Structure 1
Amino acid sequence: MTRLLPGGVALAILALLVGGALGALLWTAPAIDLGALWADAYLRHVISFTIWQASLSAALSIGFAIPVARALARRQAFPGREAILRLFGLPLVIPTIVAVFGIVAIYGQVGLLNRLTAALGLPTQQYLYGLPGILIAHVFFNLPLAVRLMLPVWQAIPGELWRLSAQLGMRSGQIFRLIEWPLLRQVLPGVAGLVFMLCFTSFAVVLTLGGGPASTTVEVAIYQALRFEFDLGRAVLLALVQLLLCGALIALGQSLARPVTLAPTPQRPHDRPDLAPLGGRIADAIAIAAGTTLVLLPILAVLYAGVTGPIGVVLGDPRLWDAALRSLGVALAAGVLSLAFGWAMLLTSRELRLRRYRPRAADAIEVSGSAVLVVTPLVLGTGFFVLLSPIADVFALALVLVVIVNAIMGLPYVIRVLGPPVMRVAEQHDRLCASLGISGWNRFRLVEWPAVRRSAGLALALCAALATGDLGAIALFGTQDTTTLPLLMYQRMASYQMEQAAVTALVLVGLCLLLFVIIERGVGGRGRA
């Protein structure tokens, strides 16, 4: 029974936190009349715009990602390919507010493109703030993700098919239509659904690039209702709408999902027959160059603006270091909490699956850890605000609440990264440990930790890095005394202190990367994955 205790305690605390927040929303919510809700022009516009921008963002991200992924799959051995794949991993971990700054530096009114346009004697354009800016930012973040998720499709195509297509003299278009597309369309619903959800719940991008009420999403409307209008009823109503829409979208995605095996095939490899034509090489070069440029330019803009900005002035500002220390404390606390909760749940799940033969109960525990994706940070934060405001000063508890929200949001990553090695070590060593009488601390020290150390380091580093750059929870609860680096950077951008914001962005990126590397190598060491 004691083996079930860690996960039971973690689940109870998680249920208390998330259930308490959601229960507070339901308890305080006004009677929801869907007809009246849709009759409210503002709410109708916010919901419609949220769905519209997420749909456009997903369509553009997937539409541009397909030719880039296909080009990378076709060209397996060109200089810089591995560097491009690594570059495509950066938007997944770079703080959103930092990337937004880079996008403004490229596409803003005084950005690189407008400066080049002015140098050519052409009129400059102001198009960034509003729907165009939101779409540009979402494509920046989600095109690399979609490319990395779709690349395994081509690895799963047997070499025999390439030999057959060569014997039949198939051209590139025929190969795509008859070989690649049938497999690609099986994974597209899942990839598109994930990208849509990320765009649907986007907060920092819309907050900074939305440009006004006409481009407000549900997430930003919740924030505005609480922080600016102090309209608790509207915030609760919007949070419940967000929760219902996210739940419905995830349920729809699950119903459309089909299991697809995308492991590399064991057959003898064979070159594609459409590699040699000049037109294909030019098209692939253009696709790869365009995708790389889209991702690389904002990152280079952040680095350039940071190193050429007023470094001495910003680094001499004590507010920067206070904010950096708070961000560091939030990141470490949230990462450790998330890792502890996730590990405890996985241990109990493993016990139920391997020793008690209750796979459904084990699945339920793991799904409950991932189900928090339905509850966005703004929805969870609104629930905590409603729950605690009658009995405590919510803003005095800001950093504690930010740690809790980020720890909960990190659980799906911990379960995904740590789950396979935790299960594998039990499958491989349970009988040996039982025969040698190794248990408790000795089992953890000698068997468990060496086997899962690298994965634990990666999970902790990922959660800490994501918490370092999070703007959602701290934007809701933050004050002058609890400002973190992302909030400080947003405040400087909002007050048009772009040079100071550039240096702050450089410090934030440096802190994220340094924290990630130190934790991954320090905790992960050289253990087996």
Structure 2
Amino acid sequence: MAHRTVTVISSLFLVGLLLGPLMFLIHFSGLSLNLTSSDMAAIEFTFVQAAYSATLSTVLAIPVAKALQRQNFWGKQLVVLFLGAPFILPVIVAVLGLILVFGNNGVINNILNFFGFEPFKIYGLWGVVLAHVFFNLPLAIRIILQGLNDVPGEQYRLILSLKLSLSQKFFALDWPVLKKVCPSIWAVVFAICLSSFAVALTLGGGPKATTVELAIYQSFFYDLDFAKAAQLALVQVFLVFSVVVASQFIIRPETVLGLNIKIFNYSHSRFEKILDFLIIVVTLLFILTPISVIFFFGSAGIFSLPPSVFKAAILSVQIALLSSFMSVFLGLCLTTKIGEVVGSLGIAVSPIVMGAGTFLMLKNFGNPYLLAIPVTATVNALISLPFVIRILKPPAEEIRTEFDNLSRAIGLAGIYWIWWVYLRRLKRPIGFSLGLAAALSMGDLGVIVLFGSGEIATLPLKIYQLMGSYRSEEALASALLLSLLAFGSFAVFDRIGRML
């Protein structure tokens, strides 16, 4: 009963945090949508880049997931682990790495120029799509791989006995899984790309490559047109919320029950082995090369960075710590079905939209820039909250199921039950959640662009400013520092959770 009360109170608090900024957006918009041709072009570009990104991420993930599922080799678990790196990697760092590889003077364009081909243009539509594929391809691979691994082993024994061709094996084994898993993956990636801001800010821009979120930022930062920013923010909320709702009607993958007999003698042709090897190697090169070049070019100047960069790094650490503990505290209070639904609302409201509404709300009471740090930490906590809840909810439900009756029998309740039973058995998922939330907050370049200034700048914002000033060596060294802080914070919290 007490836990339900905590969930209800936390849900109401969270809804208030989300609805407050939205109400002020509605107020400033005047309940009217005066969209110009440039606004409509931004909406069209947002849909087009999200559709391309989702389609390419889903389609390219299929052969990679199948190759990983089909082949067993030394280091396979390490390869799967590397696929999680882009999720933690700060967006601004990944973009900088992609520019070094695919930019005008990058490795790929130098090779293309050598052979007389047209260079790849990273700024614009295809640059935005490339970055989104870089971030979302690993997510799609892991989801499809999980679906393929859930196929019962006896189905493979049957296929082996029938001696089918490669295409026949695909339609008999893989296609039933893919047609159930891929639509939901496409919808998730599409929703993520709709609300992507940092990628569009660095690789987009201009009349032909502006997303709705970038148009909101431009209305705020350059035009000071708060009414237009509010109208575009409401459009963005409607777009993402519509996709989230529509995704609930997509067919979910069904669990296929079987004896799960492991297959160790599933023979592959030489062609399959070579093809799978090439697919895995190319995928690893695509994911690891942008990260590697940051470490290679940034290591030389990391100890000669100006004091302003280290000041921004300290501020990023402070915000990440505050955001991660706030997110995990709310996650612990929302480890129920209702709490999971309420916590997932943060996906439908992007950081820029929440930041815009909060700015307009605080503007009536004083200088909103004075609250840049707590606002940024709060918004970052809400953004990571859906992931935190999905990590904490399964073990929390298991603890309540196993220990509630025993705790009542011995009179263990309240704060004593929370301390001696609940938190002690959630040490490892809490540590993992703190590390994930801290890493995501460390690399966020969202709401801080609205509240930041010359005096208040996080490390991602500082890197963006250095890139804009063409101080590439300092930007690369700062990107390496940010990567070390993001991966380091994740590793430290995860380690602490395992040691306690």
Judge same fold: TM > 0.5, yes or no: yes
Partner AA of 1:390 in structure 2: N
Report the 3-state secondary structure (helix = DSSP H, G, I; strand = E; otherwise coil) of the residue aligned with 1:220: helix
Report the 3-state secondary structure (helix = DSSP H, G, I; strand = E; otherwise coil) of the residue aligned with 2:252: coil
Partner AA of 1:78 in structure 2: F
**Structure 1 residues 473 and 425: CA distance shift in structure 2, 3 A:** same
Query: In structure 1, what is the equivalent of residue 303 of structure 2?
Result: 312
Query: In structure 1, what is the equivalent of residue 108 of structure 2?
Result: 113
- 5 Å-filtered alignment, 1:476-515, equals 476-515=450-489
Give the CA deviation at 1:189.
1.0
Report the Cα distance in structure 2 between the residues aligned to 1:104 and 1:60, rounded to whole angstroms.
20
Partner AA of 1:297 in structure 2: T
Give the CA deviation at 1:443.
2.1
Kindly indicate whether the alpha-carbon contact (under 8 Å) linking 1:158 and 1:267 is maintained by their aligned counterparts in 2: yes
Report the Cα distance in structure 1 between the residues aligned to 2:338 and 2:261, rounded to whole angstroms.
40
Partner AA of 1:381 in structure 2: G
Partner AA of 2:16 in structure 1: L
Residues 332-354 of structure 1: per-residue CA shift (max 9 Å, x gap):
111111111121233xx4xxxxx
Q: Could you tell me which of 315, 318, 328 is aligned with 1:326?
A: 315
What TM-score does the superposition give when structure 1 sets the normalisation length? Answer: 0.91
**Structure 1 residues 262 and 207: CA distance shift in structure 2, 3 A:** farther
**How many residues matched?**
500
- 2:60 equivalent to 1:84: no
Report the 3-state secondary structure (helix = DSSP H, G, I; strand = E; otherwise coil) of the residue aligned with 1:525: helix
Report the Cα distance in structure 2 between the residues aligned to 1:441 and 1:31, rounded to whole angstroms.
46
Give the CA deviation at 1:526.
4.0
Kindly indicate whether the alpha-carbon contact (under 8 Å) linking 1:109 and 1:124 is maintained by their aligned counterparts in 2: no
Kindly indicate whether the alpha-carbon contact (under 8 Å) linking 2:201 and 2:214 is maintained by their aligned counterparts in 1: yes
- 5 Å-filtered alignment, 1:23-172, equals 23-33=23-33, 37=35, 40-75=36-71, 77-117=72-112, 120=114, 122=116, 125=119, 127-172=121-166
Kindly indicate whether the alpha-carbon contact (under 8 Å) linking 2:51 and 2:190 is maintained by their aligned counterparts in 1: yes
Partner AA of 1:156 in structure 2: D
Kindly indicate whether the alpha-carbon contact (under 8 Å) linking 2:14 and 2:342 is maintained by their aligned counterparts in 1: no
Give the CA deviation at 1:101.
0.6
Report the Cα distance in structure 2 between the residues aligned to 1:262 and 1:13, rounded to whole angstroms.
40
Partner AA of 2:104 in structure 1: Q
Query: In structure 2, what is the equivalent of residue 342 of structure 1?
Result: 331
Report the 3-state secondary structure (helix = DSSP H, G, I; strand = E; otherwise coil) of the residue aligned with 2:151: coil
**Structure 1 residues 267 and 407: CA distance shift in structure 2, 3 A:** closer
Partner AA of 1:434 in structure 2: R
Partner AA of 2:168 in structure 1: Q
Report the 3-state secondary structure (helix = DSSP H, G, I; strand = E; otherwise coil) of the residue aligned with 1:215: coil
Query: In structure 1, what is the equivalent of residue 225 of structure 2?
Result: 231
Partner AA of 2:310 in structure 1: W
Query: In structure 1, what is the equivalent of residue 340 of structure 2?
Result: 366
- 5 Å-filtered alignment, 1:114-513, equals 114-117=109-112, 120=114, 122=116, 125=119, 127-261=121-255, 266-271=259-264, 275-308=267-300, 310-314=301-305, 317-346=306-335, 349=336, 363-513=337-487
- 2:22 equivalent to 1:22: yes
Report the Cα distance in structure 2 between the residues aligned to 1:230 and 1:43, rounded to whole angstroms.
16
Kindly indicate whether the alpha-carbon contact (under 8 Å) linking 2:154 and 2:259 is maintained by their aligned counterparts in 1: no
Report the 3-state secondary structure (helix = DSSP H, G, I; strand = E; otherwise coil) of the residue aligned with 2:248: helix
Partner AA of 2:498 in structure 1: G
For structure 2, which runs of at least 5 residues remain unmatched after alignment?
A: none
Give the CA deviation at 1:311.
3.0
**Structure 1 residues 3 and 132: CA distance shift in structure 2, 3 A:** closer
**Structure 1 residues 396 and 154: CA distance shift in structure 2, 3 A:** same
- 5 Å-filtered alignment, 1:511-526, equals 511-522=485-496, 524-526=497-499
Residues 157-197 of structure 1: per-residue CA shift (max 9 Å, x gap):
22222222122210111011122101211011111111111
Kindly indicate whether the alpha-carbon contact (under 8 Å) linking 1:202 and 1:219 is maintained by their aligned counterparts in 2: yes
Report the 3-state secondary structure (helix = DSSP H, G, I; strand = E; otherwise coil) of the residue aligned with 1:31: coil
**Structure 1 residues 255 and 307: CA distance shift in structure 2, 3 A:** same
Residues 53-112 of structure 1: per-residue CA shift (max 9 Å, x gap):
10011111111111111111110x213322211111000111000000100010111112
Report the Cα distance in structure 2 between the residues aligned to 1:380 and 1:476, rounded to whole angstroms.
11
Partner AA of 1:525 in structure 2: R
Kindly indicate whether the alpha-carbon contact (under 8 Å) linking 1:377 and 1:405 is maintained by their aligned counterparts in 2: yes
**Structure 1 residues 31 and 16: CA distance shift in structure 2, 3 A:** closer
Q: CA RMSD in A?
A: 1.8
Kindly indicate whether the alpha-carbon contact (under 8 Å) linking 2:217 and 2:229 is maintained by their aligned counterparts in 1: yes
Kindly indicate whether the alpha-carbon contact (under 8 Å) linking 1:247 and 1:374 is maintained by their aligned counterparts in 2: yes
Report the Cα distance in structure 1 between the residues aligned to 2:11 and 2:416, rounded to whole angstroms.
26
Give the CA deviation at 1:369.
1.2
Residues 395-429 of structure 1: per-residue CA shift (max 9 Å, x gap):
12111110111111122122111111111111111
Give the CA deviation at 1:272.
7.3
Report the Cα distance in structure 2 between the residues aligned to 1:87 and 1:220, rounded to whole angstroms.
30
Partner AA of 1:65 in structure 2: A
Report the Cα distance in structure 2 between the residues aligned to 1:262 and 1:397, rounded to whole angstroms.
51
Query: In structure 2, what is the equivalent of residue 357 of structure 1?
Result: none
Runs (4+) of structure 1 moved beyond 3 Å? 1-5, 115-118, 120-124
* Percent of aligned positions that are identical: 36
Partner AA of 1:90 in structure 2: A
Give the CA deviation at 1:6.
2.8
Kindly indicate whether the alpha-carbon contact (under 8 Å) linking 2:205 and 2:214 is maintained by their aligned counterparts in 1: no
Query: In structure 2, what is the equivalent of residue 355 of structure 1?
Result: none
Report the Cα distance in structure 1 between the residues aligned to 2:120 and 2:133, rounded to whole angstroms.
19
Kindly indicate whether the alpha-carbon contact (under 8 Å) linking 2:302 and 2:481 is maintained by their aligned counterparts in 1: no
**Structure 1 residues 153 and 4: CA distance shift in structure 2, 3 A:** closer
Report the Cα distance in structure 2 between the residues aligned to 1:8 and 1:457, rounded to whole angstroms.
25
Partner AA of 2:360 in structure 1: V
Give the CA deviation at 1:13.
2.4
Report the Cα distance in structure 1 between the residues aligned to 2:295 and 2:42, rounded to whole angstroms.
35
Partner AA of 1:409 in structure 2: I
Give the CA deviation at 1:207.
0.6
Kindly indicate whether the alpha-carbon contact (under 8 Å) linking 2:52 and 2:129 is maintained by their aligned counterparts in 1: yes
Kindly indicate whether the alpha-carbon contact (under 8 Å) linking 2:368 and 2:451 is maintained by their aligned counterparts in 1: yes
Give the CA deviation at 1:247.
1.0
For structure 1, which runs of at least 5 residues remain unmatched after alignment?
A: 350-362
**Structure 1 residues 83 and 3: CA distance shift in structure 2, 3 A:** closer
Report the Cα distance in structure 1 between the residues aligned to 2:39 and 2:127, rounded to whole angstroms.
22
Report the 3-state secondary structure (helix = DSSP H, G, I; strand = E; otherwise coil) of the residue aligned with 2:164: coil
